[in-house]
A and B are shown apart, each in its own frame.
Chain A
Amino acid sequence: MMRKMGIALALLVLVCGVAICVGNYALTPSQVLQALGHTQTPAGMVVALRVVRLVAVVLVGAGLSMAGATYQAVFANGLASPNVLGVATGASVGAAFAILCGWPLWAVEGCAFISGLATVSLTLTLSRLLPQKQTLNLVLAGMIAGGLATSCLGLIKYIADPQDQLQSIVFWELGSFAKVDQTALTVIAPVLSLAGGFLLAARWRLNALTLDDDAIVALGLSPRANRNAMVVAATLLTAASVCLCGEVGWVGLVVPHLARSFVGSDNRRVLPLTAVIGATVLLTADTFARSVSVNDIPLSIITGFIGVPVLIVILLRRQPLGL
């Protein structure tokens, strides 16, 4: 495990180095080192902006991946992820509503969290109401809740001012770190760090939550209290990520399976590795998104192109979506 974690961390550091150097204003490593701390120079300003963006991307990549791994463990369902459960779209509804009302960033974050939690609750309730108990129920319920959230989002976009608010909502719906600044990061980073830290610290308990309720009770734990705590933390991660960069698909679904293919099912190992791989994957995608054209390519397009083949390979190589 330590060796695999070491390789993953080394890869993340390497990608961080590349991300600082490349872009529309390319810098050599020595120029980056000289520019550090000199924010008055053009190179220094570019490095400072890229560092802020890099920190945001790493936190969101780690956060979305850990949220996906947590949902998959808590619902004992390898298909669960922030997007499949409708949480990401649900959080987008709350955030778009707050933008429509012209509220400040903390209110956008709060609305995203509440609507994200409401969506995951709706998904869970619907999946339990479906007559046949099967893995697919959660996905079907997620489609229904996500569909409702999409309609609500459409309504907000229809009402929104096309000169200002609509652009902001649409840009943000496609997923991008282009508008991340230090102020936004200062507000969101503590939320991501706290929720992610909570899940990392409680990761052993996630193993117990993959069992059925009777088995969890027999181990001396409360299934409801423990599941609720984990779902709240994962939803907070998703909502905070949505606030920072909008919706980014695939990362929360695919990265936990990728981590499991390296270290098995034990969440004590899966969660830290998932965080590092998620950060690396999203940073790679974001660096590509801002380097290949003058305008950023929306992130969900790139994560989709990466996520689909990776998921196919995982499905072909191992037990389908096992935990």
Chain B
Amino acid sequence: MDYELTAKNLAFAYPHRPALFTQAQLQVPQGHILVLLGPNGIGKSTLLGCLTGRLQPLSGQVCIAGVDLASLNARQRAARLAVVAQTGGRGSTLSVQDYLLLGRVSQHGLFGQPDAADRQCVAQALARVGQSQLAPLSLATLSGGQKQLVMIAAALVQAAQILVLDEPTAALDLKNQALVLRLLQSLKHDGKTIIVTTHDPNQATLIADSIAILQAQHLEQITVSQLSAARLEALYQTPIDAVWHGQRPVYLIKGVDPS
């Protein structure tokens, strides 16, 4: 099955508020990474909510492999699509291993218990994000960066073909940012369809196959080569410069002088 994700004519507004986006279109083929860019508060997380079925759009349709997302129940959705939210695992004091096992809970009945295959799947996911040593620790004791990596492992345990990640590198140091970016590239080569939001356009140019820009209620999907300093200046309303590192542009904030 070809796990392509498409969105047609999506619109969403919270009650008594102006629309965050209208007529939004997206196409993310299997084995591609789409990076969603947009300033704070513009509606990126809301758009992800509509793409994952967490929020009901006012109009439009989201399809996975040609099947309308609205026609799938929660279990069918979880089998196709895994979400890494910014607030994942908040407040939980479960151990990392026990938390990750929950990624398999819908594959068992109401009275099911995790088996050896589930535990092996958890061990593999933790090894893939390089955090096997965290397995026995409580989620409440992890740093922000460790927790983020565990949340990505949780999405891997779910074994869904589509991964949606909301700012997965936001709380990470440079080493762990590199680990996550390499991991996303590796998962893409495994055939996963990936949608990720970030505030760092340089990360977008590193990993994206295409970029979606959300601005003024309008969603535009462009190629990586179409991204430019001028587009970013218009998007973030701040001066941005591009310097070239080989064939790749590196975007820098202008107007902040060293003190």
Contact = CB atoms under 8 A, between A and B. Distances in A.
Q: Which 10 A-B pairs have the closest CB atoms?
A: A220-B78, A220-B106, A201-B111, A220-B75, A265-B93, A266-B98, A218-B83, A322-B93, A220-B74, A265-B94
Contacts of B113: 204, 268
Contacts of A219: 78, 102-103, 105-106, 158
B169 to A, nearest CB: 20
B229 to A, nearest CB: 36
Interface string B82-101: 11010111111111001001
29 contacts: A204-B101, A204-B113, A205-B105, A205-B110, A207-B105, A208-B102, A208-B105, A210-B92, A211-B92, A215-B89, A217-B53, A218-B52, A218-B83, A219-B78, A219-B102, A219-B105, A219-B106, A220-B106, A221-B75, A222-B74, A265-B94, A265-B98, A265-B138, A266-B94, A266-B95, A266-B98, A319-B93, A322-B140, A323-B92
A264 interface: yes
A215 B74 CA distance: 11
Contacts of A204: 101, 105, 108, 112-114
Nearest to B55: A214
A143 interface: no
B242 to A, nearest CB: 37
Contacts of B135: none
Interface string B15-59: 000000000000000000000000000000000000011100000
A247 B251 CA distance: 68
Contacts of A212: 87, 90
Interface residues of B, number: 36
Contacts of A265: 92-95, 98, 138
A202 interface: yes
A319 B102 contact: no
Contacts of A211: 89, 92, 102
A301 interface: no
B115 to A, nearest CB: 11
A221 B74 CA distance: 6
A290 to B, nearest CB: 37
B128 interface: no
A201 B113 CA distance: 9
Contact of B79 (A207, A220, A266): A220
Interface string A214-249: 110111111000000100000000000000000000
A81 B45 CA distance: 36
B77 interface: yes
A266 B139 CA distance: 12
A207 B53 CA distance: 23
Contacts of A208: 102, 105
Contacts of B74: 217, 220-222
A323 B93 contact: yes
Contact of B77 (A202, A220, A229): A220
B194 to A, nearest CB: 16
A217 B128 CA distance: 25
Nearest to A213: B54
B106 A221 contact: yes
B91 A215 contact: no
Contacts of A229: 110
A76 interface: yes
Contacts of A217: 53-54, 74, 77
Given A208-B102, A217-B74, A266-B98, 5 more contacts: A202-B111, A204-B112, A218-B82, A221-B74, A265-B95
Nearest to B75: A220
Contacts of B105: 204-205, 207-208, 219-221
A221 B54 CA distance: 13
A292 B34 CA distance: 73
B54 A214 contact: yes
A204 B89 CA distance: 16
